[in-house]
Amino acid sequence: MPTALIILAAGQGTRMNSDLPKVLHEVAGAPLLAHAMQAGWALAPERVVVVAGHGADAVDAAAREHDPEAVVVQQEEQLGTAHAVAQARAALEGFAGDAVVLYGDTPFIRPETLEAMAEARRTHDVVVLGFEAADPGRYGRLVTEGEALVRIVEFKDASDAERAIRLCNSGVVAADCDTLFSLIAAVGNDNAAGEYYLPDIVEIARARGLSAGVVRCAEAETLGVNTRAELVAAEATFQARARAAALEDGVTLVAPETVHFAHDTVIGRDAVVEQNVVFGPGVTVETGARIRAFSHLEGCHVSRGAVVGPYARLRPGAELAEDVHVGNFVEIKNAVLDEGVKANHLSYIGDAHIGEASNIGAGTITCNYDGVFKHHTEIGARAFIGSNTMLVAPVRVGDGAMTASGSVITQDVPDGALALARARQEVKPGLARRFFEKLRAAKARQQQKEAE
């Protein structure tokens, strides 16, 4: 069944106390909206429509970064969830299939849950996702008769008997797209909030002789983010799941509770991740690699057998081939390190390519930025870059070439050549001794004066 996702993201999010639209606050390095869209991917949607309000341009950009084909429509005034869904109508004109409504601030709906809803659609015209709440609070309540869903009542409008129901509305709904819009068109706003309630479609559907059913999920899946504190709780939930999944996948985590994953981190089996490692978005680590303590990785790839850290920083575009070693206080950005390269101490390598088995001495820096442009550094295979070499890009050091420690390399170094680019050393016999004698004598005179 072709499926369209309608993601409601027009909330002001006033309780976040933020200039940023609520759905753009991040969990695991991705906006809440992207998590909701990702959850919906389980249904392989043909269309994705995001209903935005406050900060629509920024929401539009974030939605299309996640899915370039997503359509963002604007709900100018927030008149209720049914009114929000109605804004998606024009964007879904002519679409034949199911529509599933998700919330942009609800990041954790599992694929299995959405699949169960699709399955339940075989027997019901409208399927609502419900959950048994530990504390039902102000959630809408699902009024059922046996397996059938009779109606949904908002807390504000509920009787005491209805408020005693523990089965709550998550807000997620699935129905045939045309049916959904036809039901929504019949929703009124004669209720305690004066809003157009999406849940009212259940009662309207039943009155038309259609059937409604409930799929249940764990309360944790429907966790919505309304405050900074809830955002923190969502992050903790995400991290707990990601750590458990990594262990399940055969990754060694020495101290899982100290490792921070991004939404898209991929780590191979038998890779080792030591304490206090942070993964930003876009990291892949192959099997058998080792990420040592206190390293920070983002937008990079680490191949089999490579060792990173402790205290290393891999920034976007860092590509480490097999058996590369990157050690303490080394920063790598937009650079490809071929097999077996070693950069073990205190270096910055940016906008560069380093050929296989080359050794980068401590303190080496690619001077890639002239204040306006970025320039490339090319280092051949089996080169030896002496400690504290400044490579002023654009520059090339050839295969098997060597730079002397402390050199400032401004010109290309041919294959096999040695480049020395530092002042020649002079030695003055006895000068240090005479110099110190002079200083000590001066100090003694000063102390004598102070005593007088």
Nearest approach in angstroms of CB 264 to ligand UD1 is 23
CA torsion sign, 16 to 21 to 23 to 26? Answer: negative
Catalytic residue, chosen from 54, 83, 260, 345, is: 345
Q: Is 199 in the site for ligand UD1 (CB under 6 A)?
A: yes
Answer yes or no whether residue 31 interacts with ligand UD1 by CB under 6 A: no
- The residue from 29, 31, 55, 80 that contacts ligand UD1 (CB under 6 A) is 80
10 or 246, CB closer to ligand UD1? 10
98 vs 154 by CB, closer to ligand UD1 = 154
Residue 81 belongs to what H/E stretch? Answer: helix 81-86
Measured distance CA(247)–CA(270) in Å, rounded:
10
The answer to whether 73 and 116 are in contact (CB under 8 A) is no
Distance CA 262, CA 266 (A): 9
Which of the stretches 75-83, 176-184, 275-283, 431-439 binds ligand UD1 when contact is defined by CB under 6 A?
Answer: 75-83
Contacts with ligand UD1, 164-183, as mask; x by CB under 6 A: ----xxxx------------
Q: Give, as ranges, the residues between 94 and 113 that touch ligand UD1 (CB under 6 A).
A: 103-105
Q: 139: left (phi > 0), else alpha (psi -120 to 50), else beta?
A: beta
Give the separation between CA 165 and CA 144, rounded to whole angstroms.
10
How far out from the chain centre does Cα 41 lie?
A: 16
Distance in Å, CB of 16 to ligand UD1, minimum:
12
Question: Which secondary-structure segment (H or E) carries 48?
Answer: strand 47-52
Query: What's the alpha-carbon Rg for the chain, to the nearest Å?
Result: 31
- The binder of ligand UD1 chosen from 6, 28, 59, 84 (CB under 6 A): 84
25 is catalytic: no
Nearest residue (CB) to ligand UD1, 199 versus 280: 199
Among 38, 74, 78, 287, binds ligand UD1 (CB under 6 A): 78
β-pairing, 384-385 vs 359-360, is: parallel
Q: Binding segment for ligand UD1 among 81-89, 90-98, 249-257, 276-284 (CB under 6 A)?
A: 81-89
| Subset of residues 216 to 235 that bind ligand UD1, contact rule: CB under 6 A | 224
Output the smallest distance, CB 155 to ligand UD1, in A. 8
Tell me the three-class secondary structure of 179-214, residue by residue.
Answer: HHHHHHHCCCCCCCCCCCCHHHHHHHHHHCCCCEEE
Active site residues: 345
Chain contacts with ligand UD1 (rule: CB under 6 A): 8-11, 51, 75, 78-81, 83-84, 103-105, 139-140, 152, 154, 168-171, 197-199, 224
